[in-house]
Structure 1
Amino acid sequence: MSSPEQWTHPEPGAGPAATAAAPTPEQVIAGLRTTSEGGAELTQLLTPEGERIPSAQFDPYVSDVDHEALRGLYRDMVLVRRADRESNAMQRQGQLGIWVPLLGQEAAQIGSGRALKPTDMAFPSYREHGVAYTRGVDFRELLGIFRCTDHGGWDFKRHGFHPYTIVIGNQVLNATGYAMGQKFEGKVGDDDGEATITYFGDGATSQGDVHEGFVWAAVYDAPLVFFCQNNQWAISEPTERQSRLPLYQRARGYGFPGIRVDGNDVLACLAVTRWALEQCRHGNGPVLIEAFTYRMDAHTTTDDPTRYRLSDELEEWKLKDPIERVRAHLARGGGADQAFFDQVQAEADQFAAELRDHVFNMPDPPPDRIFSNVYAEPSPVLEAQRREYLAYLDGFAGSEH
């Protein structure tokens, strides 16, 4: 079993190697206490208590974030969390087939999402509801996926936000190809250059697709930010069962920069992502960001996290809540009063009510919709399958389409 100290040391080989042995509860707690802030290499601009930490390297990337802008980031996180909680409740009530919670990861998603320019492209997995929100995707369109009525109806080119990807890590290859295209078409090289960002979890770093993406992006200097939301658990497996080193250090083996940021610090996530995107825009190749955060809820609504993690761990991370640290900073610095916080909460409740009304009144699609838009041109084989399927449904007495 590896020592907890290994995970905060910036150089490889400084501690014993991780093994596949299951950690004891005591070891899990010890490791948590050592790594809960991400180690000495963590980039942080707002502490859990809401205190501002100066950074010579990253302060220039958030020089435009005054109290008004920070209130906007706070509002984003509150609305997204409220929508997430309402969606979780609707799944429990049978209105959604499944839900993938983002609770605890709002800062990583809002901070990185707000760093993107309109010409950039984002490739999500299936948990990036906050990033979708920052890209102007109507949250109601996300819910159609989880109600099983569609595959995502937004215009991904207009929003710069690719459809959700369910296959673990596959979006990284898609993003790599897209970023290579940006490079081949000469869309990089200055401040007006384009860039791509792709999101994945710590568990996806064990998938071959992610490593292939690393290789191709490095070889072709693709303008691609690999954004890993390390929420400590790949479903039921802790991160230390997957890697001997902190995940951001893996970039070293592929020849491009890696950095670890406090994923519960929206200001740091904004600054670091802006920095990484700037590197990409100027043709300097890919960057790996490890956002060190925590999944406060289940992996999905089909998962029971109490079977594999300790309540002590959850309580520890509640003290690092991404929304509360911004609230504390604004309140302490005079950037917002109670009336503002009450207004945002009321807006969030209204947002949730509108989502709920939409889902409860969402019409079921006609049965032949599944055959729509499968191919760009009509297909005789597909048309034959459609006719056969509709004839099968008509064979039931009183069937309704």
Structure 2
Amino acid sequence: MSSWIRNRVLSLSSDDSSDVDPNTISQRNSAGTSVHMGSASQVEVTHGTGRDEGLINIQVPKSFAENAAMKSLDALRKDLLDATEDLRRSQDKIQELHAELKIVKDSIAQNHKHEETMKEKLAEYETRISEAEKTIQELREGTTQNETSSGAPPQNGREKLKAKMIELPAFKGYRIQRGNLKAVSFIKMDSCFQMGWERDFEEKLNNAWASSANGTRGLKKFLYFPGLTFFVNEQHAITIAPKTQKNSKHNFSLLSSLDEMYGEERELFIDRDTAQSPSVNVFYAGRYRVVRLNDSHLKSVGYTNSFNREFGFQLHHIIPIVVGAQTQKPLLREDEIRKLVASGDIKLEFIGLQCVGFERELYHAVTTTTPITVPKAEPQSEAKRQREDDSISAKAAGGSSSSHGRPKKKKQKRV
């Protein structure tokens, strides 16, 4: 222990050569009680006795103690300066982090504000789009409420039918616009003028429906009037059919299949695009309700050329439904039916078709089944039929038909 103290004292005294001379340091043996380090420094180390036996007493000159204390203070000052500098750098770093955190918070707040602004703009755009669609719908429908409220009659049959149909509510749910419809893949329009086409249509429709995921929900009842559907606006349409009637003069009786369908809802198929022009394709238009038009002028009308001009209803498209409506034998021949329709002896009625739904699964089923191959129709057959219609209509207007609707035989000149 005394040896360590001696070395420590030498270490301290080596920093101040003016106070301690190592050559004058002396030491007692290990059992001694003091260490004399020369007269210059007067450093004395003694062991305590008695109660202080475990203590060591060191006596140094005042100048030596002051020098040692000053050096210790200088070291402490240096350590304090270093710690102060470290603290300053840490505080600067903390301030930088606080500044960055503030920037991040401000950025988050701006993003939230931008998000709210975008939501408001999106809602505003949706409102504008809805208003624009409503305006377009109103422009398409060409409202006639001012005319009806003032008591002014519609200008023609088309406007009268339009005024009746636009009073019906529109369907607000999901549906595909007619201009965006895909054609059904299981049948074409030309196939629907042959005998038994309704059964063929029904079988193919239900086969397509049965092959879909929801096809187990039962068979589908459908409506399709080949070439005889006219839309007064985007959703509502009209068709024409022979009314139930009995004519003793021309010896025929007709029963309309639509009499039992009024108020029913069925899946409607059409063959016209948005431009009202005929199409060889057939389209699923949605679920429609059969509506009776309570107007005596619309429930019993004779065919005129204006039907083709205003609605696109051609005479040769009406003949097949008259053939199917006959209940009295002998049945009329097609050429007789053509003349009786053209002359107005066979009465027709307009029927309303109101959109009440659109079955998306059915639309997908009938447009994704395996396409069919239909033989091409004879060239110019449609134009030829139209020329025949016009010719017969002109003759009927001139009163050239016989009492039974059969053409009169011309007397042969004798040679």
State the TM bucket, normalised to the shorter chain: under 0.3
Q: TM-score, normalised by structure 1?
A: 0.23
Q: TM-score, normalised by structure 2?
A: 0.22
Instruction: Select the structure of larger CA radius of gyration.
Output: 2
Higher strand share: 2
